[in-house]
Structure formats: structure tokens, C-alpha cells
Structure 1
Amino acid sequence: MPIAPGQPALIAVAVATLWAQPSAPGPEDRLALGVPSAIREWVARLTNDIRANGLKGRVRTQCLLGTRVEVQRITDGWAEVICPQQETSGWVPLDQLVYPAEGDTDGVEHFVSATATAVREEPGGDVAIPGVTLGTRLRIVGAAYRGWVPVSLPGPRQPGWVPQRDLANEPVAVLSKAEPPSIGLISAGLDAVKLAQQLLEIPYLHGGVSAYGIDAPGLVWIVYRQLGIDVPRFNDALIESGEAVEFEDLHPGDLVFIEHGGDPKTPAIMAERSQSDLPEVIFSSSVYGKVVVESLKDSELAGITACRRLPVQA
């Protein structure tokens, strides 16, 4: 069934970039527009300045494989879509979408826990979808075979196969269940730090939410998504999420909003106190061009604009 305005669609590539308008991509962005989408290669060819500043006003966000979107209009091979999951909209190449097929919601949903993996046509076979990244939800639709599990793919396609070790042990539905606050708060915070550490050195990418490039709120979004906790995708809503806490009461996994790179609302994930007793935070830095862990110096403490504790319950 063809993609049509007013109808739902699914992201059919590992990572689809949502652009401000069809004319926003330049010749240097063609790798991000294809099927498959070569996001890693695209990001690698961009300079630090383009990744931090050159995509502003051009890129809205990115959506991962299987994300459900609502098609608003179609023109010249492009579709304007709304992504309810991130409460935003943008333009995506029509070829990167597929109409939902019967049975798309079958199976047990698991997160990809590896930094990146590939969906193959058969166990150990040819790659069907490369570059599937941390935080992607895949549905297991059959029994494991020699360390591989079958997963459903968006649209009318045969199931693909991924290494079982690349998926989270617990289904998404289990992760999303609320725990008692005293237990859930501690475990979720420590797990958030561990996941953020997994993404250290990932390039900064304005609008990015993948293991190939990620912005500051994107890091928070993907880390807590992996824990089954939905948080806002963008800074203005994120800084109002959860509850306010005093700086002295911060726990690992809490958010510290700092002034960085000209943005007074840059979110960072509280890690721990360093040996010098200065607080350490993990964040995607537009200045350093990557995800870093850094001790906040006394001069930077004055630039903290908010401290928030995200809800444990999804």
C-alpha cells in the first residue's frame, strides 16, 4: 500500500533524519538520504563546525528504525511527517518510509543494547539493514537459533536476524513497569550513568539521537529511553520534566543544566564526585565535538541553570 497523507508510516531505515524542509540537505548530505541511510559515513565526512552549527535550522531530529510517524503531505519524493514520540515534525525522503503491515505489532519488543548492530537476512547472512543503533526497538518473533533471534521488520518484509547478545535481556514492557521509588530511583540513575558511559566519544551532531552522532538532549533521550522511561526530546521541555532538586542533593542519573557553547539549557547527566570532590557530568558537547565526561569547575558551577530528577516511572 503506498504512503499517503493522513496515514501512518514506519521508519524503514536504521536512522532517518527529519529535515526542516526538502531543500535543507546539501550535496554533502546525500549519504543520509538513501536506503540504507549511511549515517555513520555521513557524520564522518562533516566537520565539527558543521555538526555543531551548520545543521541548525536544517535538521530537526532523527527517528530510529520502526518509529511510527504520521504523514502530513507528500511532494517531490519527500514526506512531511509528525513524530508523536518526540513531539516534533520534519521532512524525510519518501523511500525511507514504509506503510505498516499486518502483524507489525506481533512479537516481544526488546531494545538494542549494543552500541550498534545490523539486521541480517538469515543468521550470519547478508546484511538487510545496517547501522541499527542503541535504543532501537525490535520485536522478537520466533525462537533463537545458535545465538541469533528473528525480528520483525517494518512493512511487508520477511523477518531479519540479529545476534541475541545485541538485545536487552528484559523486554521493553518489563523495563517500563514502575518500581518502588527507593529502589527504582537508585537503580535507574546508576543504569543511566552506565549507558551514558557507553556513548562516550560519540560525535556531537545537532539533531542526532544515534550512536553515530548525538546532541545534548538526544543523549538524555536515548539513555532514558533505553531504561523504558520516556522523557522530552528537546531542552525547553526537558528542563521542566521531573522535579527540581537542590545541587547538594543530586544523585547519579539526575540532570544538571549548564551554560555551554552559548546554550544556557545544555543538559548533562550527573555521574559522580571526582577525587577532588568536584561533580562529574556526562554530556554531548558542541564545543568539544563529542560526548564527554567532565568535572564541573567552580567557575562552571555558577553557570548551572537547573537541576532536575526525572521520574522513574515510564
Structure 2
Amino acid sequence: MTHAVRVPLATLWSDPDDRTDANVVTQAPLGDAASVEEIRADGWARVRLPDQGDYPGWLPLAQLAEASTPDVSSVSMVDALFADLRDAPNGTLAMPGVPLGTRLSAAGPPEGGWLPVCVPGAAKPLWVAESDVCAKPADPLATARRLLGVVYVWGGLSPGGIDCSGLVHLAWRCHGVRLPRDAHQQADAATPLAPGEERAGDLYFFAHPGRRVHHVGIVVEPGVMLHACGTARSVVEGPLTPDRAATLTLVARPAARAGS
């Protein structure tokens, strides 16, 4: 059975019995689909996330609800860094902290600047401020720049903390494009470019000799990138350092932009 995330942001671990930071694999926002493969007696479920290329991990089954079929013509994207859902227009807070890039399906027409939305597991629609959502996809680089200064978190996928491939995945998600979750997967899915052909919004990939891609950044201009940097522990923008330039292994364009 297909399920959907019912909390603002679910964290997935590689090992439910060792929930340390190093074992975080990714996160999934409210409403994202999750295919359940296994359920343990203690309530933990192993799932795959189709929106992230069938990415696997463990999370509490209680964070999932039975999925319904959304009306894709009525889906809006959270455009605020975090949006709050309320039980009525300008009503009581029901679900705080729904992150940027969350897809919300409208449950009816807006009222007084508020939009009713379907929420997995909720008995009735909740309400989001219309100013916190948008229908038109954002420019990936512009979206990523809004996250400058956000703390680096391994496996993070939100303005509360994010890693390098999470930043790329989220920026393109907000643009209406699904990219795989990890840097090496994103490299495999991109169209290679000759050095010097890159433009704003393309991607730089980095790898050590004989090893797979371990880092990705978004091109701002040739030789300059925006990325979630583990060394700086935040999202930063600047010229390629000598160490980065030495490990630059691929310049590429996400497949969705290949002909743009």
C-alpha cells in the first residue's frame, strides 16, 4: 500500500536502532509518497521514497497515513521557508513548520487570503496563507540563494538544515523537477558539458580519483558556485577553492534543462 508523510518533515534513518546524526539518510516533507516495504513490531517501517528516486530508509509508521490520489491541477508549492497550517482561516495553529518545497493539494477555493489544503491523516482540510504558497515554479538558483547561511546537516532537506545534494534536490523540486537524492545519482542523471559551457543553474560535481562523486554545487557563474559546504557547516557562495578545483570531475546540466 502507498502511504504519505503526515508530519511537516519526516527524518529517515539507515538503522532505526542507531538514530545518530551519521545514520540520517534523508528527509521527506508532508504529503510525499512512501512505499512501505517492511514493518517491525516496534512500529518502525522501512520505506522507499519515489520522489527521491526510490530512496530507502526507516521512519516511525505513525508518521505515515494512507495516501489519497491528489488533484494535480490544484497543487501549490510552499514558497515560504516554513509555513504554518491552521484549523480555519487565520485560526488556531494546527501544524507548524511545513517546509519550503512541500506540495499541498487544494481542498477548495481560497477564503480571505487563506487556502484550504488536504493533509494526509487529517479529518478535515487545514488552511495555509496564500502568501506562503505559489503555483508557478521558482528558479532553482534563486531558490537555493534563499538558503544561504542555512546550517549544513547530513541528510537534511529543508531550510532547517541541508546537505549538498539536498540543496540541489530541493532547489529543483521547487522548480517542479524531480532529481535523485544523492550527488552521484544526480551526476548520472545530468547531461555533461564541456568546461566553460556552464551557465547559472548548472551543476559542478566533485570526486577523488577512482571514487564516485561525493559533492555537488550549483553554478552561479563559471568558476563560482553555491553549495551546502560540510567544512563551512552552512550554505555558502563563492569561487572554487584550489581543493575544489582539483577534484572537479564533471560539469553538467540537469536533464530537465538540457534543451533550455
Same fold, judged at TM 0.5 (above) = yes
Partner of 2:186: 238
Partner of 1:293: 237
Cα distance in 2, alignment partners of residues 300 and 234 from structure 1:
18
**Alignment partner of 2:134: what SS?**
coil
Number of aligned residues = 254
**Alignment partner of 1:229: what SS?**
coil
Partner of 1:271: 220
Name which of 195, 200, 211 aligns with 2:143.
Answer: 195
What is the letter of the counterpart of residue 296 of structure 1? L
Partner of 2:197: 249
Matched, 1:227 2:175: yes
Quick one: higher RCO (CA 8 Å, sep 6+), 1 or 2?
A: 1
Kept in 2, the 8 Å contact 1:150–1:161? The answer is yes
Length-normalised TM-score, structure 1: 0.75
Partner of 2:252: 308
In structure 1, runs of 5+ residues without a counterpart are: 1-6, 27-54, 176-187, 274-278
- Deviation string, structure 1 residues 75-123 (Cα, Å, up to 9, x no partner): 202111111221211111122111225x654760111111111111111
- Deviation string, structure 1 residues 134-192 (Cα, Å, up to 9, x no partner): 1100011212122111111113521011110111133xxxx5xxxxxxxxxxxx8xx22
Matched, 1:74 2:39: yes
Alpha-carbon shift at residue 270 of structure 1 (Å): 0.4
Kept in 1, the 8 Å contact 2:4–2:34? The answer is yes
Name which of 117, 125, 131 aligns with 1:159.
Answer: 125
Kept in 2, the 8 Å contact 1:229–1:313? The answer is no
- Which protein has the bigger helix share? 1
Amino-acid identity (%): 33
**Aligned structure 1 segments of 4 or more residues deviating by more than 2 angstroms:** 103-107, 262-265, 297-303, 311-314
**Alignment partner of 2:57: what SS?**
strand
Cα distance in 2, alignment partners of residues 313 and 264 from structure 1:
21
Kept in 2, the 8 Å contact 1:106–1:141? The answer is no
Cα distance in 2, alignment partners of residues 164 and 10 from structure 1:
23
Cα distance in 2, alignment partners of residues 297 and 25 from structure 1:
34
Cα distance in 1, alignment partners of residues 161 and 217 from structure 2:
16
Alpha-carbon shift at residue 299 of structure 1 (Å): 5.5
Name which of 26, 30, 46 aligns with 1:65.
Answer: 30
Alpha-carbon shift at residue 222 of structure 1 (Å): 0.5
**Alignment partner of 2:80: what SS?**
coil
Alignment of 1:145-184 (within 5 A): 145-170=111-136
In structure 2, runs of 5+ residues without a counterpart are: none
Alpha-carbon shift at residue 242 of structure 1 (Å): 2.1
Alpha-carbon shift at residue 263 of structure 1 (Å): 8.6
Name which of 58, 82, 90 aligns with 1:116.
Answer: 82
Structure 1 vs Structure 2 CA RMSD? 2.2
Matched, 1:17 2:11: yes
What is the letter of the counterpart of residue 88 of structure 1? Y
Length-normalised TM-score, structure 2: 0.90
Partner of 2:51: 85
What is the letter of the counterpart of residue 131 of structure 1? G
Kept in 2, the 8 Å contact 1:259–1:303? The answer is yes
